[in-house]
């Protein structure tokens, strides 16, 4: 099984109703889908790939080779040479990552390659536009006003819009470590420009991990925890992970359209949710109302754990 691929070419023409329906279905199951003809030019996407790869090679690769996960894996492999069994690396990721929003805040853009900043700023503008088009469609699909989600995420200020550039360099023992461990995303809507050759991203669907197939010039969309809450559970944030590979240096540029920290998040729809106890023994009967900043302070400590205890903690804060 593959995740849905939706062609947005006729969104503003005769295909609109059908495309909106495909997006609604993708949001429901599996909570991941890919978009083609989304309005971001191929040449810009090529440039993003180029500047990110160049930046990794000239500025980051050396540091990655000396990073904690690499040293740890080398030590584990030495243990194996000595006849003992290697243990899995359960609390680190095989990932090189930097956040563009940090650079914007501190004006510390990489100097190499020279067109890095210009390219990434242009890309962020385009992906922001796409995020807002999708939020309008998702609002309408949920039976809400077109601007509902944009206003809900802005709160009293403006949405948090971040971009994370990651590389997953070749890993000699992909059986021992994950590129990123399984998690659901905390925020609103996630727009991912992923490598079109090196695979690795998988999403959990009905108990099975399925590949998010590399598709040239696509943008992968996934639903974050906050959209799950606002939709009353009609849409669910999906578990996903990245598996490292022995060959190929996977690139991933993920942009997050998230609520502002002060935004109040609560269900806009009343949808019955399952009330069976989850693994943590919690029976959640309704999604809570909370401030996104409070959610993030818990998420930052519990990213790789079940989301239900996080929702429960938000209920308890306001009890």
Which residues here bind Fe ion, judged by CB under 5 A? Answer: 185
Could you tell me which residues come within 8 angstroms of residue 102 by beta carbon, excluding any fewer than 6 positions away? 108
Terminal C-alpha separation, the chain = 43
Closest approach of Fe ion to the CB of residue 161, in Å: 16
126 or 185: CB nearest Fe ion? 185
Closest approach of Fe ion to the CB of residue 223, in Å: 11
49 or 181: CB nearest Fe ion? 181
Closest approach of Fe ion to the CB of residue 209, in Å: 14
190 or 263: CB nearest Fe ion? 190
185 or 225: CB nearest Fe ion? 185
11 or 165: CB nearest Fe ion? 165
Residue nearest to Fe ion (CB): 185
Closest approach of Fe ion to the CB of residue 277, in Å: 26
159 or 179: CB nearest Fe ion? 179
Closest approach of Fe ion to the CB of residue 145, in Å: 28
Closest approach of Fe ion to the CB of residue 180, in Å: 7
202 or 231: CB nearest Fe ion? 202
Closest approach of Fe ion to the CB of residue 185, in Å: 4
């Amino acid at each position: 099984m593959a995740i849905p691929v939706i062609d947005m070419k006729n969104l503003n023409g005769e295909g609109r109703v059908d495309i909106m329906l495909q997006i609604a279905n993708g949001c429901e199951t599996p909570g991941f889908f890919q978009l083609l003809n989304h309005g971001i030019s191929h040449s810009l996407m090529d440039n993003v790939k180029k500047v990110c790869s160049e930046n990794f090679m000239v500025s980051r690769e050396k540091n990655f080779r000396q990073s904690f996960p690499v040293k740890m894996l080398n030590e584990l492999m030495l243990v194996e040479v000595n006849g003992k069994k290697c243990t899995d690396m359960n609390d680190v990721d095989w990932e090189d990552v930097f956040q563009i929003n940090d650079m914007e805040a501190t004006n510390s853009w990489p100097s190499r390659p020279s067109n890095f900043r210009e390219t990434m700023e242009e890309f962020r503008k385009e992906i922001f536009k796409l995020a807002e088009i999708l939020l309008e469609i998702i609002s309408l699909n949920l039976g809400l006003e077109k601007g509902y989600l944009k206003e809900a995420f802005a709160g009293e200020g403006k949405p948090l819009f971040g971009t994370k550039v990651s590389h997953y360099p070749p890993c000699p023992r992909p059986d021992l470590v994950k590129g990123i461990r399984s998690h659901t995303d905390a925020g609103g809507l996630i727009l991912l420009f992923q490598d079109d050759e090196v695979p690795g991203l998988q999403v959990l669907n009905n108990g099975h991990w399925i590949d998010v197939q590399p598709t040239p010039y696509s943008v992968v969309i996934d639903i974050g925890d906050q959209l799950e809450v606002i939709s009353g559970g009609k849409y669910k944030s999906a578990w996903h992970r990245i598996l490292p590979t022995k060959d190929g240096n996977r690139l991933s540029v993920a942009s997050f359209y998230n609520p502002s920290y002060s935004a109040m998040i609560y269900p806009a729809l009343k949808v019955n949710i399952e009330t069976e106890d989850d693994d943590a023994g919690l029976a959640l009967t309704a999604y809570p109302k909370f401030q996104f900043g409070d959610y993030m302070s818990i998420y930052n400590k519990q990213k790789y754990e079940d989301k239900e205890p996080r929702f429960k903690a938000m209920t308890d804060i306001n009890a």
